[in-house]
Structure 1
Amino acid sequence: MLRFCFGASGSGKSHKLYEEIIERSTKDTDRNYLIIVPDQFTMQTQMDIVRMHPDQGIMNIDVLSFGRLSHRIFEETGKRTEAVLDDVGKSLILRHVADLNKDDLPVIGSHMHRAGYIDEVKSTISELMQYDVGPDQMKILIDNCQSRRALKSKLSDLQLLYQKFQEYTEGKYVTPEETLSFLCKRLAISRLVRNSVIVFDGFTGFTPIQYRVIEELLTCASEVIVSLEMDDESDPYKDNISEQELFYLSKKTVHSLLKCEWRCLQRLDPMGTPDYDRWKEYRDLHNDDIVLKGTNYRLKGNAPMAFLEQNLFRYRASSYDGDSADVSDSIVIAQCDSPSEEVRQALIFISRMIRKDPELFYRDFAIVCGDLSTYGEKIKRDADTFGIPVYIDETRGIKLNPFIEYIRSALDIVRTDYSYETVFHFMRSGMMDFDDDKIDLLENYVRSLGIRGHKAWENIFTRRPRSRRKADAKDDERMVLFLDEMNRMRQELVDMISPIMDNHKKTVLELSKGLYEFIQKGNAGAKLLRYAERFAIEGDGVKADEYSQIYGKIMELLDQVTLLLGDEKISLKEYMEILDAGFGEIEVGTIPQNVDTVRVGDIERSRLSNIKYLLFLGVNDTNIPKHASEGGILSDIDRQFLMTSVPDIELAPSPRQQMYIQRLYLYMNLTKPSKLLYMSYAGISADGKSLNPAYIIGKIRALFPDLKVRMPGTDPIERQLLNMNDARTYICMKVREYADGNMKEDEEKKFLTLYDILNKDDPAAAKRVHEAAFLRYTNSPLPKALASALYGNYLENSVSRLEVFASCCYEHFVKYGLMLDERSEYDFDNADLGNVFHSVLELFSLRLEEKGIEWTKFTDEQGQEILSEVIQEVTGEYGENILYSSARNVAAIDRMYRILLRSVKTLRYQLQKGDFKPEKFELDFKEAGNIDEINIALTPEEETRIRQKMQLHGRIDRMDIATDEDDNIYIKIIDFKSGNKSFDIASVYYGLQLQLVVYMNVAMAMERHDNPDKEVVPAAILYYHVADPLVDAKDTDNDPERINQKIIKELKASGVINADKKVIDLLDKSIAQGATESDILHVKLKKDGSFYASSQVMENDSYMAVSSYVRHKIREYGRRILDGDIEVNPYSLGNKNACTYCNFRSICGFDVSTPGYQLRELSKLSEDEVMTLIKDEGQHGRS
């Protein structure tokens, strides 16, 4: 016999049925009473039965879910031999079957390896099983999709995959959905259900396969009772029902169950049972169904909530005309700025209610979220601050657990043959016993040397890092210890990975054995338990549950993979994809750690009971109703089409149906609280987008016209703060506003009162807040003793380091004082390109000298031959053969050859044009001897004090010499640049471009030292761009010689040239021969012999003033470095500033919005303005 129990939300359906079952069970102790509820409701129902039972026990009453019912029946009647597949097993088999048939799956097969796609396929196949749609029914669906080719293709793939899945599992495995089908066959022989009374409570509807189970139960049990949500004004038996009706789902369920009952009667008495319509008409009038009418059990005494239950989503809805004060005590609608503010205000509300009513408990409150993924973590985080115990009612995926990352990255090491990323992902998984600092050191080491591949890792590390090639004996000792530690870590890693290294086309069983050995070798189980214990001590029960369960879950997965696919031979990549599919399906369920806790859930999944206050957050139109999704194998549009085209085959609800079903869930949730309903919505999303309230807000306000929307964020501060943590957060948020003087007088008084309380409660915290509020950067130089310790008693420096100091003192301190640097990578970049160019040009010159060939006289053939040899020698030795480490770098060698060949030919031509001859290549300052330009006394009066001296280091790329008839010596300095750099006199003035002038000063001092009786004249300081430029061949008639002349002009050296006509003639003889423009220098003469403005010339006395000024700047910078100047003072000049390419921006904290920090604005100056300033400073003297 089938009975129904109808009642509105809160009418007491469950209570009524439980009372009846308890009473009948105590009188008829030989009969079994089964109460079947949704999975997530079993524990609560058991507690309710025990609490209501006079004997405080459930005796002959069983509380089960559909799954537990199957388990009980199989235990009693005997199990099938097939193993039951869970979601993990289904995913594994579906992936494997899809791989075997990928050529026949044009749509699904091409996406199977996409992250998450296998889960979508599994969900769709599971849905088809739940709704009893087999491959034959799918053919009907396909035949009705002739006009929808894309949908037809998807369904065809699904049908084939479904069929192959069934073939693979037949006789070996059974799915949970098929378990219910098998259950139907076993119910008839079960003593548990025979003549029992069975109650279905808490369901809003059933799937087709569940209806089949209920139909079988009707034939075996003496009575089946089903409770359904429906008010006393609705007719549950009415034939014509509309989807728009609030209780449509309940009425549809009634009709489906009545058909089940009628079919049972027909099976028992085919001749005596009338047709369905006549039978139903009789049953509608003669039944023992329970209809609960009258006073609402839950909402008794709460008139506004009772009115809400009776009128929400009803077409006859009217406005509440009761006392408006009662409404505000029963329903609250709050508008907040953001989801975070919603959560905060909800927790403030709970705390206030708990304090106000000592009889309230946290379990009297529940939170429902429109979007649990957005609000769940915020609630968990903020609840800890408020001291409110919460339980998030959701199952958690474990794909980001360290144990999963540990396994994944270990297999990835093997798959990628020890790539950098996978090795250090593994080492930082949280499951290794290495210190983070040591892992960083190891990563720096292997990256700088390009160590990759298992062979490299299996060999002992002996090489020095690229940054530490030059070392003294003390550093050698440190290096031995360093390499010992690196090798210890290397060996431990290699040993750990060894069980899974040999993996070529093995069976799944062999691969799983290797992985199991790897897991055991790493002692992963014990480590996970220690994590779980730590989380438990810290009070994080959710994490403790996850870490205590995950090891067993992974072992079960390996067992399942081996059981399902053990003898299959697959690649490691395929094995990893199978494991990934399994990892994605593993979920860890948790239970509340405390009975007295606020339960947090969503609208559809969570089942709440006995709550007094419900807080509904995220009531925005983006969350309610849930919008039709575009994802999934079958989109919502596909479902709508199939439902319309093939109405006889039922699938999961269409988007339209789902929208109406959501209304029922909303009705059930909003009428759950017995005392107060709190609803809130955000005005702005977490990403700053404007939000609107959901339609339900408007409906409730229409029912209660006097209900005002509250804005709790604007409440006085005394209503916002509940404890010291809350007060501390408020002070931190508002302290800047106070510091800027933007607070109103009343708020300022309250703020100062709170700050005073904080200062007494936690003086250290108050001090930190004060410092943060009035944060101001002030320059604090290093003590001179500390500066001396950092830089050495005898300051050794280079020109480039001094330029960095001029750019920003703090950058110099970090880079050369603290010796911080970016991680050295085994790569070939622009800096390496410059180094190779310098080395090749130096070696090219040496080879010419060895062969007795002058720079101006080598032939093209000789140049090509020498250059080829030199490039091969330099690239073969450079940076641990880095140039041969990749095809890209090998290709770069050909490009370098082309550029350098162009360069040596052009340099030859430039020398041929003048009287200068190369004197030195890569001239080290050490060769200059003891000259003042290198050994600099920082203060004249203290020359003997070691601490006040500085020695410059550097290398001059090329120094050329020429002499005249008077035996005067002329010097030309060439600096090779791989990039296009120009000389800027303003940058020299500001200390940003000292190099060329310093090189000339050193070169002149050397010559004066070696030739004290001769005059030494600065001829030119020049940059030469090492390049092979492209030129426009227009106006050349494609003549190679004319094109070459264009290229030569493009490669003119740039810098500063002595304006003395004699010097110009020495540099370019064509000028002496009457030419008005040089093709090797930026020099152009007017008819009167004067220079055009574009000429890069400078009078000798002006240059000597610049030279003297640079000497002064170097001495000044040296003094300031040893005086401990580390000011954060980045320069800004035009569109350039020191921060643009600085590698240490994250360290210095520079921020122009913080008082005290500012860019050092340097004025753009013309050459005349710079020279005036330099000469003025010279005339006024320098310290």
Structure 2
Amino acid sequence: MLNLVAGRTGSGKSGKCITEFNAYIQRSGAADAYAYFFVPEQYTMLTERRLLDYQKAEGFKIQGLIGHEVLNFKRFSYRILSTYGGDATEPLCECGKIMMLTSALENLSGKLKYFSGLSERPGEIARLLSLLEEFGKYDVTWKLLGGLETGDVYLDRKLRDLGLILQEYQAMKKDRFTDENDVFERMLNHIRKNEFFRGRSVWIDSFTGFTSKEFELITLMLRQCRKVTVTLCTDLRGEPAFECTDNTFRRLKDLAERNGIPCSVVNLSADPESNRSKYGNSSLFYLEQALPTLRGAAEKRSAQQITLAECHGPYDEVVRCARQIRRLHDTGSAEYRHIAVALRNVEGYDVMIKAVFKKYGIPFYIDDKKMLDNNPLIKTILGILSILADDWQIKDVLECLKSGILNFGADSDRMENYILKKGLRGRRRWKKESEEFCALFFSELDALTASFSNCKTIKEVCVAFSLFFSKWEFRQTMEALSEDLRDSSQPELSEEYSRIWNIVMEVIEQVVLFLGGLPVHGAADAAGKLLRLLSAGFSQYKIGFLPSSIDSVQIMNIERSRSGEVKALFLLGANEGILPSHFADDGILRDQERELLKKHRVELADDSGAKASKENYYIYAALSLPSDFLEISWPLEDISGKEMKPSPVILRKIRNVFPHISICRQPQAERHLSEKSPDTAVRIAGQTNLDLLKLKGVFHTTVSRIESYYKCPFSYLLSYGLRLRPREEAALELYDLGTVLHEIVNEASDHLFLLPRGAADLAQCREIVEGVYETVAAKMRFADTELSGRETHALERIKKYAAAAFFHVKKQLDAGSFSVCGFEVPFDDTDHSILRPIVLKPSAETPFLEKISVTGRIDRYDIMEENGKKYVRVIDYKSAPVTLSDREIQAGIKLQLLTYLNAVLDSYPKGTAYPGGALYFKFGDDITTVKSHLSCAPAKDSEKQFAMNGFVLDDRCVLDGMTGGSETGVIGGRRLSGGGISFAGSKMLKSEEEFQTMRQWAYANIQNAAAQIAEGNYPIAPSPYADPPPCRYCNMRPICANCADS
């Protein structure tokens, strides 16, 4: 008899099974009447505990399962084979499967049309293996695939190839190896032959669906058992959230009818109030009632103990969650074992959860299996092979060194800095290297290269590699690491390290077993092939761990939501595209092809549409799980700073029931700060600050540093107080290109004095640039670095930019009446400086600060004499687009031009020099864009690219002195039909009074910044007026972790 028990969360389905199962145990005595309780793999321990807790609570005289068992289908299959005997074939591990499939693809080389060359792509092989296993679970044979005619030419070609692959794979496996599908099939045969379930009773609980083979097992149960009870989470009302379980319900019912088995249906949710007793909080009960449907609740209620939280980033989200968990535990609201954290992607949060929960003293258990790609031994092995296969690339070398397995200890950090600084890449460069540890590293790997060069097959390569492991004592290293971690607070990591060596050797053995005869040609080919094979093998392993304590918070994927008692649930990462998850149609068999196969009665697993439908069920199961407290949170950006949005599906479901629920938003001041730092204020003690800044009465600074303080005081502290610097790397960075461009124009500018007015053309400018380039390049930090082809091309492009920029500098000077007074003009206390530093008194009395001395270097300043007055024009060269506004000057983030102007004007007697302009000269288009590649000939619109911007005195003689009255390529403007240039409406024009006001702003901002710095005030406060935002390109961002606007 089939007994179908339907009901929603909390209606008592599992409880009914436990009661019936325990009652059966008390009644039965004969061994042939043993009962079986089937649950998903992750629920076996929980179900056993609940069965025993029930027995104890009810005071049973006989306690324990006494031969009756709680099993999952996989465990049951092996139990049957151990009872009736299996065969002599060897079990095939996950790695063995992928190696066998790779070998099968090698054997079929030349016969495959659609899947040719697949053996070279480990990721595709893993997907193909998954499909072959799916064929096994759904009884799809190679004969069926080869004989199908679907009418789709591409699908038929694909199916024929799949048929050949499946045939070869099964032929290699036949009579030698056994996988899980074979075990399941043999189990079914034993049950048919021996009528194992005859007279027994079975309970099947907490499943949402079954594969074809599992349905076949259930069919045998129905034919042999006295009673089969199956529970399904549904209310039988056809609600969207229960679509997957409703389909399973219908199929089980049809199965019973086809086999003539009586079927009874018990709907525990026939009464909508049946599960009210589960919820200690009425709000959660009303939420559970409304979740399965798309309709809103008829009665709008307040959301007590339901919280929506918006956090800035994932780390903030985990910190908030940890604080709430501690609050619930410390106030006695819930024990740790009654608290759960649910996520759609556990791996994206596990590192943060481990760090934060440990800090807050929260015991936890991550109910998820871990990939091995971050294990140090795996990274070392794959890194070594990558070095040999890809000719010593820097990223591969650093991967090896940073793993810690090669026993370089603290020297690995020094080696890393040295390698990056020198830009060591390529075996040829490494062979010449004389640095002690680098030379040792190279000699060892070069010896391995020589060993690989002598190998003819993959088997010989594996032997040579294993000898390398022994020489470097990889096994002993992992054992020592595991032992060190055993007594620490990281028992899971200790267990992983203790198991990893056996996994590595198992993968290598499987490579030798199935692909040992694969030929190799040279060291690079040998390393490349072994790299692909090992990568594919390691990808098949996942490590799971048992909880170290019963009283611990469970961290789980929403697909594995447990059915135990959960009082409080925290749902993290409720973002759009993640919850519900978006399933891309990127499998080997697309959704359209699966639908076509279904029409030909070939049933396979869920397509992306069915998976998306199942997401609704997972969301329902997670949100309806807690009885007392629910918090749903989401970050506004991911760990890399990319913007994220909250899940509209989740918000809609909650607001359908609780339309007035508010969202707890994280205050800006609390973002990325611990509870010990409730605001962004950072203050350095007086004497410490004086020592850092070396203040002794005079505060020596530059305008760039002052601007840096206004952009972000904390970044200023790190850069100029603590003097932190980015690690020096040989790679040619974007700022290097800007520096080269700037220096070339400066060096070439000396030739301006030698060229007569109007004499230069672009070709001549290119000759001048070529002449000064070597001098400039010799002074750059990459001068001794061997540049890549791409970097060399970038520098060649920069020379073209420089030639074009130099041409327009000359053209702009020729157009007007301003004459160059100097390039790279310093204003400081040195003897050769013609301009003196700007000396100011502090804005307020500050101890240890008597005066402020501002020094710097002006790219260029020009003078024009007209009507007995001298007009000063200061120009700063920029390699990227830049603007200037009153607001930016007042905010202190753009003081450079006005400070330069002050430095020049202050050097003249009062009343003899006047501001003419403060301008930026941009070197053409933005050098960061690919399309900004200048041609050798000046384009008609190139003037616009090089036109200066900033502020100009609103005086006709000054404007004509810059433009010659007709040249719009200097500072813009509109050429009039009758001659001349109109600047009507231009924001660049400023009166003499406005210039004076802006100059005073510059002075005042310098004084104010100096006073704040002297007092030790360094808040984490990026300026809201800066564009781009200061955090976007800040080198110090990893330290403060501030993401105010990235």
1:91 aligns with one of 91, 95, 98:
98
Does the 8 Å CA contact 1:397/1:584 hold for their aligned counterparts? Answer: yes
Structure 2 distance, partners of 1:150, 1:421, is 40
Structure 2 distance, partners of 1:657, 1:372, is 19
Q: CA deviation at 1:568?
A: 1.0
| Residues 863 and 517 of structure 1, relative CA distance in 2, 3 Å threshold | same
Q: CA deviation at 1:880?
A: 2.9
1:412 aligned counterpart, secondary structure:
helix
**Aligned equivalent of 1:1036:** none
Q: CA deviation at 1:441?
A: 6.2
2:897 aligned counterpart, secondary structure:
coil
Structure 2 distance, partners of 1:370, 1:1098, is 57
For each residue in 1:4-35, what CA deviation from the matched residue of structure 2 results, as whole angstroms up to 9, or x when unmatched?
898977477755776788x445xxxxx99998
For each residue in 1:623-654, what CA deviation from the matched residue of structure 2 results, as whole angstroms up to 9, or x when unmatched?
999999967555677666655543xx776699
1:138 aligns with one of 114, 136, 145:
145
2:543 aligns with one of 588, 598, 614:
588
Residue 244 (structure 2) pairs with residue 311 (structure 1): no
For each residue in 1:44-88, what CA deviation from the matched residue of structure 2 results, as whole angstroms up to 9, or x when unmatched?
999999x99999999999999887788789889998665332332
Structure 1 distance, partners of 2:784, 2:479, is 45
| Residues 118 and 1000 of structure 1, relative CA distance in 2, 3 Å threshold | same
**Aligned equivalent of 1:412:** 386
For each residue in 1:323-346, what CA deviation from the matched residue of structure 2 results, as whole angstroms up to 9, or x when unmatched?
998999999936444699999999
1:880 aligns with one of 779, 782, 792:
782
1:23-422 aligned at under 5 Å gives the runs 23-24=29-30, 40=41, 82-98=89-105, 101=108, 117-140=124-147, 142-143=148-149, 145-146=150-151, 151-170=155-174, 172-179=176-183, 201-202=202-203, 228-229=228-229, 310-312=266-268, 333=285, 335=287, 336-337=306-307, 395-422=369-396
1:868 aligns with one of 770, 775, 779:
770
Structure 2 distance, partners of 1:830, 1:396, is 38
For each residue in 1:284-332, what CA deviation from the matched residue of structure 2 results, as whole angstroms up to 9, or x when unmatched?
9xxxx9x9x9xxxxxxxxxxxxxxx94337xxx5788x99989999999
- Amino acid in the other structure paired with 2:181: E
**Aligned equivalent of 1:452:** 425
Does the 8 Å CA contact 1:406/1:429 hold for their aligned counterparts? Answer: yes
Structure 2 distance, partners of 1:496, 1:431, is 14
**Aligned equivalent of 1:993:** 897
| Residues 955 and 117 of structure 1, relative CA distance in 2, 3 Å threshold | same
Does the 8 Å CA contact 1:449/1:825 hold for their aligned counterparts? Answer: yes
Query: What's the TM-score once normalised by structure 2's chain length?
Result: 0.64
Does the 8 Å CA contact 1:615/1:678 hold for their aligned counterparts? Answer: yes
Question: Alpha carbon RMSD of aligned pairs, Å?
Answer: 7.7
Residue 460 (structure 2) pairs with residue 569 (structure 1): no
| Residues 735 and 655 of structure 1, relative CA distance in 2, 3 Å threshold | closer
- Amino acid in the other structure paired with 2:135: L
For each residue in 1:581-601, what CA deviation from the matched residue of structure 2 results, as whole angstroms up to 9, or x when unmatched?
322322334445467889999
**Aligned equivalent of 2:720:** 816
1:598-747 aligned at under 5 Å gives the runs 633=588, 642=597, 645-646=600-601, 688-689=646-647
- Amino acid in the other structure paired with 2:513: L
Does the 8 Å CA contact 1:508/1:569 hold for their aligned counterparts? Answer: yes
Does the 8 Å CA contact 1:781/1:1126 hold for their aligned counterparts? Answer: no
Equivalenced residues, count: 941
| Residues 114 and 904 of structure 1, relative CA distance in 2, 3 Å threshold | closer
Q: CA deviation at 1:162?
A: 0.5
| Residues 255 and 167 of structure 1, relative CA distance in 2, 3 Å threshold | same
| Residues 1143 and 130 of structure 1, relative CA distance in 2, 3 Å threshold | closer
2:647 aligned counterpart, secondary structure:
coil
Structure 2 distance, partners of 1:370, 1:428, is 30
Does the 8 Å CA contact 2:822/2:860 hold for their aligned counterparts? Answer: yes
**Aligned equivalent of 1:237:** none
Query: What's the TM-score once normalised by structure 1's chain length?
Result: 0.58
Does the 8 Å CA contact 1:973/1:999 hold for their aligned counterparts? Answer: no
Structure 2 distance, partners of 1:682, 1:230, is 32
Structure 1 distance, partners of 2:685, 2:737, is 38
* Identity rate, percent: 19
Q: CA deviation at 1:992?
A: 3.8
Structure 2 distance, partners of 1:1081, 1:230, is 83
- Amino acid in the other structure paired with 2:97: K
| Residues 526 and 921 of structure 1, relative CA distance in 2, 3 Å threshold | same
Q: CA deviation at 1:562?
A: 1.7
For each residue in 1:184-236, what CA deviation from the matched residue of structure 2 results, as whole angstroms up to 9, or x when unmatched?
99999x9xx89999968556999887899999999xxxx976752279xxxxx
- Amino acid in the other structure paired with 1:312: L
Structure 2 distance, partners of 1:627, 1:913, is 61
| Residues 953 and 71 of structure 1, relative CA distance in 2, 3 Å threshold | same
Does the 8 Å CA contact 1:228/1:250 hold for their aligned counterparts? Answer: no
2:509 aligns with one of 546, 559, 562:
559
2:285 aligned counterpart, secondary structure:
strand
Structure 2 distance, partners of 1:1133, 1:624, is 33
Q: CA deviation at 1:552?
A: 1.8
Does the 8 Å CA contact 2:827/2:903 hold for their aligned counterparts? Answer: no
- Amino acid in the other structure paired with 1:577: R
For each residue in 1:155-210, what CA deviation from the matched residue of structure 2 results, as whole angstroms up to 9, or x when unmatched?
3332122012124444544434335667899999x9xx899999685569998878
Does the 8 Å CA contact 1:624/1:694 hold for their aligned counterparts? Answer: no
Does the 8 Å CA contact 1:354/1:362 hold for their aligned counterparts? Answer: no
1:228 aligned counterpart, secondary structure:
strand
Q: CA deviation at 1:542?
A: 5.0
1:1087-1166 aligned at under 5 Å gives the runs 1120=1011, 1123-1124=1014-1015, 1126=1017, 1139=1030, 1143=1034, 1146=1037
Structure 2 distance, partners of 1:934, 1:91, is 74
Structure 1 distance, partners of 2:834, 2:687, is 28
**Aligned equivalent of 2:299:** none
Stretches of structure 2 lacking an aligned partner (at least 5 in a row): 6-12, 232-244, 288-305, 310-316, 636-644, 927-935
Q: CA deviation at 1:517?
A: 4.4
**Aligned equivalent of 1:466:** none
1:569 aligned counterpart, secondary structure:
coil
Structure 1 distance, partners of 2:104, 2:614, is 36
1:993 aligned counterpart, secondary structure:
helix
Q: CA deviation at 1:385?
A: 11
- Amino acid in the other structure paired with 1:404: I
Residue 742 (structure 2) pairs with residue 786 (structure 1): no
Does the 8 Å CA contact 2:841/2:850 hold for their aligned counterparts? Answer: yes
| Residues 350 and 517 of structure 1, relative CA distance in 2, 3 Å threshold | farther
Structure 2 distance, partners of 1:982, 1:600, is 50
- Amino acid in the other structure paired with 2:502: G
Structure 1 distance, partners of 2:992, 2:608, is 87
**Aligned equivalent of 1:239:** none
Does the 8 Å CA contact 1:977/1:1025 hold for their aligned counterparts? Answer: yes
Structure 1 distance, partners of 2:946, 2:802, is 13
Q: CA deviation at 1:885?
A: 2.0
1:412-451 aligned at under 5 Å gives the runs 412-429=386-403, 431=405, 443=416, 445-451=418-424
Residue 848 (structure 2) pairs with residue 929 (structure 1): no
Q: CA deviation at 1:499?
A: 3.8
Does the 8 Å CA contact 1:617/1:679 hold for their aligned counterparts? Answer: no
Does the 8 Å CA contact 1:98/1:161 hold for their aligned counterparts? Answer: yes
